[in-house]
A and B are shown apart, each in its own frame.
Chain A
């Protein structure tokens, strides 16, 4: 397309998109116009951000991270932010046919017109969708091929803590909380543009690389040794940091976003409003990357939460509020919060929920409070490990007796369905550990029938394959093969079905082990894995998080062929256990965790030793607070929620 023919920057593509919408599934997801969405005049902003969630609209829309940044950026008079999501293959084909590029759903502007494309990676399985979006946008998929006319592609989200597999495709990765760093990036881009873009794209990236928390992979080179492992990570400029440290937002009450959550017309995966009640977790579950990379714990106060709930409900009209965090029952004021919110909304039809619950009798009390006058159907607990032994390995200790007692209490309190989350393929795991899940479920149903006097109670066991993640004590671990996972799931199913009188009350939900292997490759991969991702995308791979689109064979074949020249393979990245001093691809990216501490914690896992939570016991020197200059911020504040005044 020549410069003359090109539509002016920021122009709406909607007139060209509309005829295509009549020919596809669920067109509503592409039209925008949602409550609390906004379209600012293009010319009014100095810096334009396209924010992408690389999955379908119905999955991406409720994402809190994206919604927060959308609001924070749009509050700035000099910035504009619009959202874009992955388009399904039916529309993608029509867009290519008709020359319609990747667009934002707010102003239907071409993604290519924006200064920045921020992509939030909650999971590595979105990588092929990034390539698809770049290609649809008319942006070269390789960062080295981009010029000043192209947006700067910025990766964020938890997966950005090891962005090496997508290092060839992104210009920068942002580590940690996004609220403040997006402002810093905006300032840098604004100044560079105002100065007439001195030094071109390289200078802009160099300036961005000096922003705390921003990693520019292009300024680092990686070399590999004869054994296939990384030999060295070299800085190519001396004005970029040797180690890039994550960003941490302190005092969450100062950042009460989203204030006006976007309410979709289309159905989404979460039909509720979420309020994040704290960030970070120090429970120390060794499998949990989120808990490791988001330290320390920073609570919102009970009053801060109360006003976010109230303002959010007013702004959205939602009838359900989820009190979100990594382990919500751990909030220092949760009991009072649950009671006072339940009091406040008792007469309205607003329901409250607590996702992700530890196995703890207190959680049943909380759930009872929140469902005071509502239906008690399902309650979810996450023991994660089947046996007491494996729960010590993963540092999520709960005794079998406590577990059975807690679940039984739930049945006795009128809950008819309990869902139990487990993982399979954990380090040191044997068939016996997994088979204990069946024993546990059987016991839960027996005790539950007795305690509740009902036969119709149900227990659903939901189980997934474990994928070792960077920046966790299990980053050195051997990942279980798909065959191992599938075998353990098979024996578990047989054990549950052994006694039909009990087994019919137990449901088993699981996924086969194959997608986990690819997630493992992408999670702990290095830059060489980028060639696999590109190959898979070129062969049609996208929406890899969707079983109907995921092709294991396409991935394994691409991995075999693309990795062979380097003398490594899929197993090398997944089932191989790493040694203590191997340079890991993410070692130059600093989550604050001390690598020596992580190794010690890994050794303690192997010897089944537990670590207590540092909120209530002395610091165990994970390294985060001193390295990052942060501290635990928890209550109780002693404050309480005031009754709402009648309007």
Chain B
């Protein structure tokens, strides 16, 4: 029999907090692992009373939801943390935000509403904005129209097991072309799933169907995540938690 940790098991989770954060600027080059390490250290610096798993190497209770790819910026990354002492969500947001590098921002922190279900169930779609420097909207639009007119667009995707052919078309729920300063902008709503279709895959699809090759590396920003409804809108995944809080406050009065 090996050694067991002495003393009582760690205190349980008394509150779950759901966090929306952004990675911007240079830190878009951070990978999911880089972000996780950074966030965990920031939680320590901010003194957030994290709940821990039991055993010899206790881990803070954090779960991450589908991270944006390395190189993509995001205004809508989500994670959920468990704390061992009840906290004011806004104080956690401010404390954590202050403990992070400038280009990582904690945008929202809300208490998980009881009985509202899991956060993962509220996210199945990403809203992307992809800047294409050196490309005009007139070049982008016809390529995009060609893509949207197809039923199947096969592209090769790099996976752990080498190149694999995937169909990039069905995941793209909607897309449009816009114009920015010195660049065309590709707006799109993309369903999450397996295999994941990322902005790079859609750009590869545009190259495949219309020979569109942006002269400079594109810059992708995930603007939102949530559940896609029948009307084509993406719902705020923290909405039900906010509603639950309002109900609670109302009941208290």
Chain A residues in contact with chain B, CB under 8 A?
14, 18-19, 21-23, 27-28, 30-35, 263, 265-267, 271, 314-319, 349, 373-376, 414, 647
Interchain CB contact under 8 A, A22 and B37: no
Q: Closest residue of chain A to B10, judged by CB? A: A349
Q: In this complex, what residue of A is CB-closest to B215?
A: A19
- Report Cα–Cα, A30/B29, bound state, in Å: 9
Residues of A within 8 A of B148 (CB): none
The docked-state distance in angstroms from the alpha carbon of A22 to that of B37 is 22
Interface pair B27/A27, CB less than 8 Å apart: no
How would residues 179 to 206 of chain B score, 1 for a CB under 8 Å from any chain A CB and 0 otherwise?
Answer: 0000000000000000000000000000
Residues of B within 8 A of A33 (CB): 25-27, 101-103
Complex Cα–Cα for A265 and B57 (A): 22
Q: Which residues of A contact B34 (CB under 8 A)?
A: 28, 265-267
B positions within 8 Å CB-CB of A: 2-3, 5-7, 25-27, 29-31, 33-35, 37-38, 40-45, 47, 52, 56-58, 60, 70-71, 99, 101-103, 216-218
B6, B43, B60, B218: which contacts A373 (Cβ < 8 A)? Answer: B6
Residues of B within 8 Å of A317, CB to CB, are 40-45, 99
User: Chain B's interface: helix, strand, loop or mixed, by majority?
Assistant: loop
Contact of B217 with A31 in the complex, beta carbons under 8 Å: no
Choose among A19, A21, A34, A315 the residue that contacts B29 (Cβ–Cβ < 8 A): A21
- A539 CB to closest chain B CB (Å) equals 32
Interface residue from A22, A31, A316 paired with B41 (Cβ < 8 Å): A316
User: Least Cβ distance of B231 to chain A in Å?
Assistant: 35
* Given contacts A267-B34, A316-B41, A317-B45, A19 and B217 within 8 Å (CB-CB): yes
Cβ–Cβ < 8 Å partners of A31 in chain B: 26-27, 29
Given known contacts A374-B56, A376-B3, what 10 new A-B pairs fall within 8 Å (CB)? A18-B26, A27-B70, A27-B71, A28-B31, A31-B29, A33-B25, A33-B27, A263-B38, A267-B37, A317-B43
Which residue on B lies nearest to A29, using beta carbons?
Answer: B29
Residues of A with C-beta under 8 A to B44: 317-319
What would 15 A/B residue contacts be, using CB atoms closer than 8 Å? A21-B71, A28-B30, A28-B34, A31-B27, A31-B29, A33-B27, A33-B103, A266-B34, A267-B34, A315-B45, A316-B41, A317-B44, A349-B52, A373-B5, A376-B3
Beta-carbon contact of A265 and B27 below 8 Å: yes
Distance, CA A423 to CA B131, complexed state (A): 56
**Shortest CB distance A37–B (Å):** 9
A318 / chain B contacts, CB cutoff of 8 Å: 41, 44
Contact B26 A316 (CB under 8 A): no
Task: Give Cα A35 to B101, complex, Å.
Answer: 6
**What is the minimal beta-carbon distance from A35 to any residue of chain B, in angstroms?**
6
Q: Are B217 and A23 in contact (CB under 8 A)?
A: yes
CA distance A375 to B71 in the complex (A): 36
The closest CB in chain B to the CB of A313 belongs to B44
A19 lies within 8 A of B56 (CB): no
Q: Measured between C-beta atoms, what is the minimum distance from A269 to chain B in Å?
A: 14
Contact of A22 among B42, B56, B217 (CB under 8 A): B217
Partner of A316, one of B25, B45, B70: B45
Give the one of A28, A30, A314 with max B CB within 10 A: A28
CA distance A28 to B33 in the complex (A): 11
Closest 3 CB pairs of A and B: A317-B41, A375-B56, A22-B217
Contact A19 B27 (CB under 8 A): no
Contacts of B218 in A (CB 8 A): 22
What distance in Å separates the Cβ of A14 from its nearest Cβ neighbour in chain B?
A: 7
Known: A22-B217, A32-B26, A265-B101. A314 touches B45 (CB 8 A): yes
Residue of A nearest to B216 (CB): A19
Nearest Cβ in chain B — how far from A137, in angstroms? 21
Bound form: Cα–Cα A14–B29 in Å: 13
Q: How far is the CA of A263 from the CA of B30 in the complex (A)?
A: 14
Residues of A within 8 A of B57 (CB): 374-375
Bound-state Cα–Cα, A373 to B25, Å: 41
Residue from B3, B40, B58, B70 within 8 A of A414 (CB atoms)? B3
Residues of B within 8 A of A30 (CB): 29
From residue B69, how far is it (CB to closest CB) to chain A in Å? 11
CA separation between A30 and B71, bound complex, in Å?
13
User: Which of B7, B41, B42 has the largest number of chain A CB atoms within 10 A?
Assistant: B41
Whether B71 lies near A265 (C-beta < 8 A) is no
Contact flag A22-B45 (CB < 8 Å), given A14-B26, A265-B101, A414-B2: no
With both beta carbons as reference points, the residue of chain B lying nearest to A19 in the complex is identified as B217
Distance of A25 from chain B, by nearest CB (Å):
10
Q: How far is the CA of A375 from the CA of B58 in the complex (A)?
A: 10
| CB of A443, distance to nearest CB on chain B (Å) | 24
A267 close to B33 (CB less than 8 A): yes
Report the bound CA distance from A13 to B118 in whole Å: 44
Complex interface: chain A residues within 8 A of B103 (CB): 33
By the criterion CB–CB under 8 Å, are B7 and A373 in contact?
yes
CB distance from A152 to the nearest CB of B (A): 30
CA distance A19 to B99 in the complex (A): 29
Given A266-B34, A317-B99, A376-B3, residue A27 in contact with residue B29 (CB < 8 A): yes
Bound CA–CA A27/B29 (angstroms): 6
Q: Which residue of B is nearest A374, CB measured?
A: B56
By a CB distance below 8 angstroms, the chain A residues around B71 are 21-22, 27
Q: Which residue of A lies closest to B34 (CB)?
A: A265
Contact call A28/B29, Cβ cutoff below 8 A: yes
CA A35 to CA B45, docked complex, whole Å: 11
Contacts of B6 in A (CB 8 A): 373
**Closest chain B residue, CB of each to CB of A414:** B3
- Tell me whether B45 and A349 are in contact (CB under 8 A): no
Distance from A271 Cβ to chain B, minimum over Cβ atoms (Å): 8
* Smallest beta-carbon distance B70→chain A, Å: 7
Kindly provide the distance from the CB of A22 to the nearest chain B CB, expressed in whole angstroms.
Answer: 4
Residue of B with least CB distance to A27: B29
Chain A nearest CB from B173 CB (Å) reads: 26
How many Å lie between the Cα of A557 and that of B184 in the bound state? 54
Q: Give the residues in chain A near B27, CB-CB below 8 Å.
A: 28, 31, 33, 265
The interface residues of chain B lying within 8 Å CB-to-CB of A374 are 56-57
A347 CB to nearest chain B CB (Å): 10
**Most A CB within 10 A of own CB, among B7, B26, B37, B45:** B26
Closest chain-B Cβ to A214's Cβ sits at a distance in Å of: 36
Q: Which residue on B lies nearest to A105, using beta carbons?
A: B26
Nearest Cβ in chain A — how far from B75, in angstroms?
18
**From residue B36, how far is it (CB to closest CB) to chain A in Å?**
10
Q: State A19–B183 Cα separation when bound (angstroms).
A: 14
Kindly state the separation between the CA atoms of A374 and B3 in the bound complex, as whole angstroms: 10
Alpha-carbon distance A349/B41, docked complex (angstroms): 12
Give the distance to chain A from B103, nearest Cβ to Cβ, in Å.
6
The CA-CA distance from A218 to B174 in the complex, in Å, is 68
A314 to B44, CA, bound (A): 8
Collect the chain A residues with CB atoms within 8 Å of residue B5's CB. 373
B47 and chain A: residue at smallest CB distance: A647
Bound Cα distance A31, B103 (Å): 11
Select from chain A the residue with minimum beta-carbon distance to B2: A414
State the CA gap A106–B124 with chains docked (Å).
Answer: 38
Q: How far is the CA of A27 from the CA of B28 in the complex (A)?
A: 9
**How far, in angstroms, from A32 to B99 measured CA to CA in the complex?**
17
A414 and B2 alpha carbons, distance in the complex (Å): 7
Closest B residue to A266 by CB, please name it: B34
Q: For B42, what are the chain A residues with a Cβ–Cβ distance below 8 Å?
A: 317
Cα distance A23–B216 when bound, in Å? 11
> What are the residues of chain A within 8 A of B43 when measuring CB–CB?
317
In the assembled complex, the CB of B218 is this many whole angstroms from the nearest CB of chain A, namely 8
Complex Cα distance, B70 from A600, in Å, reads 59
Nearest CB in chain A: distance from B162 CB, A: 17
